[in-house]
Amino acid sequence: MKEGYYAIHETFHSDRKIKSFRMAAMVIAVKKVAEAYKYLGI
């Protein structure tokens, strides 16, 4: 739980275009899906 909040917090504060914690969480989720697809070769 703590690690998840930290990741969202860091993402939120790393880019001025990200306006909310919800958007930061979505950015992290999309990056994880992209990594999984890359790993699978899709």
What pLDDT sits at residue 23? Answer: 98
What pLDDT sits at residue 41? Answer: 93
pLDDT in tens, 1-27: 999 999 999 999 999 999 999 999 999
Q: Are 28 and 8 in contact (CB under 8 A)?
A: yes
The pTM of the full predicted model, rounded to 2 decimals, is 0.85
Task: State how many domains the chain has.
Answer: 1
What pLDDT sits at residue 42? Answer: 87
What pLDDT sits at residue 25? Answer: 98
Which structural domain, as residue segments, surrounds residue 29?
Answer: 2-40
